[in-house]
Amino acid sequence: MERFICRTLSVAALIWVGAQTTLADSSQIKVLDEKSSAVQYAVVSLKPLFEASLNMPADAEPAVKQSGALFSPFVLPVRRGATVSFPNFDEFRHHVYSFSKTKRFQLRLYGQDETKHIVFDEAGVVALGCNIHDNMLAYVYVTDNPYFKTTGASGSVEFEALEVGEYEIYVWHPDLKDKLKQKYGKLVVSKDMTGAMPTIISLELRKVRKMQLAPAEDDYS
């Protein structure tokens, strides 16, 4: 098993990764807030600072589902140019919209088992809502970076089979205090380093968090 070592510098992280070939087995990054609590729904993406020789596989069609008057997932990262589907699994209709500068659109009222599609052709953040159910909230994070994942409840993501080289680390979360700060150091994937630790990245988040709440009973219509 390959071993990894990392050094955390304030909010920036520098990772040294050991590997026997041009690929590393895996590299783990953990995102924490100011109280050292795990941060869920953070998008961690990597930008190679070299000419990568690997061809990125085509993504399966990403989707934002509507079920139980909720969006799922709450945060969806996609590559710029991706087509995202919006299937409705509820017995009632939804009207999905976004007024975000990155992508303004409306998917006018449509019902159960109907699906609509939107192409996200600009990088940035797209906040989603529903004109019928005010409790519904979600985000599509559109990136040019080829590697990206969203943290779960543990606050961790793991990237596998990274090509040896240097990468910039980007992190985004709906509650970032500084929306313009998304670079958090560099990741150096190397075949000749040893050690074992996940990278720790600390985010400054707003005290009041954006959330998607379950609807009240009379919101189902």
Q: Of 168, 167, 178, 174, whose CA–CA distance to 150 is shortest? A: 174
Other Cβ atoms within 10 Å of 31 Cβ, number: 24
Region of 117 please: left (phi>0), alpha (psi -120 to 50) or beta: beta
Is 65-143 in the same CATH topology as 4-52+147-202?
yes
Q: Of 151, 153, 124, 158, whose CA–CA distance to 140 is shortest? A: 124
Residue 16 identity (one-letter amino acid): W
| Residues 49-69: tens digit of each pLDDT | 998 877 666 667 899 999 999
| Residues 90-100: tens digit of each pLDDT | 999 999 999 99
Residue 48's DSSP bridge partners are 167
Given 3.40.50.720, 3.40.50.300, 2.60.40.10, 3.40.710.10, which CATH number is that of 4-52+147-202?
A: 2.60.40.10
Residue 206 identity (one-letter amino acid): R
Domain 65-143 CATH assignment equals 2.60.40.420: yes
Instruction: Provide the token pair at 196.
Output: 């074992």
Helix, strand, coil percentages for the chain (3-state, nearest 5): 0, 50, 45
| Residues 22-44: tens digit of each pLDDT | 666 678 899 999 999 999 999 99
Distance CA 90, CA 151 (A): 27
Q: What is the domain partition of the chain in residue ranges?
A: 4-52+147-202, 65-143
Say what the pLDDT of residue 191 is: 67
The pLDDT confidence band at residue 159, using thresholds 50, 70 and 90, is: confident
Q: Does residue 75 register a pLDDT over 60? A: yes
Distance CA 219, CA 221 (A): 6
